[in-house]
Amino acid sequence: MDRLEAMSLFVAAVEAGSLSATARRFGMPLATVSRKVSELERHLNTRLLARSARRLTLT
């Protein structure tokens, strides 16, 4: 995992408030963005985002 890329995606997701907007901004599939953020959470062994159907919030 490229941690710097994952951290950049995480910050962008928090700023945008959604993984979909982040995926569009970086020109990546939504599944890739979601997977990279999840991998970062696993690496840090903590939950960084609270995901709901409509928005993301920091934990």
Q: 34 or 54, which is more confident?
A: 34
Phi, psi values for residue 57, rounded to 5°? -135, 150
pLDDT tens readout for residues 24-47: 999 999 999 999 999 999 999 999
26 membership: H or E segment, kind and range: helix 19-26
Q: Does the global pTM surpass 0.85?
A: yes
Provide the mean pLDDT of the chain. Answer: 93
Give the total number of structural domains in the chain: 1
Q: Domain containing 38 — which CATH number? A: 1.10.10.10
Query: What is the rounded distance in angstroms from the CA atom of residue 42 to the CA atom of residue 26?
Result: 22
State the residue range of the domain holding 31.
3-58
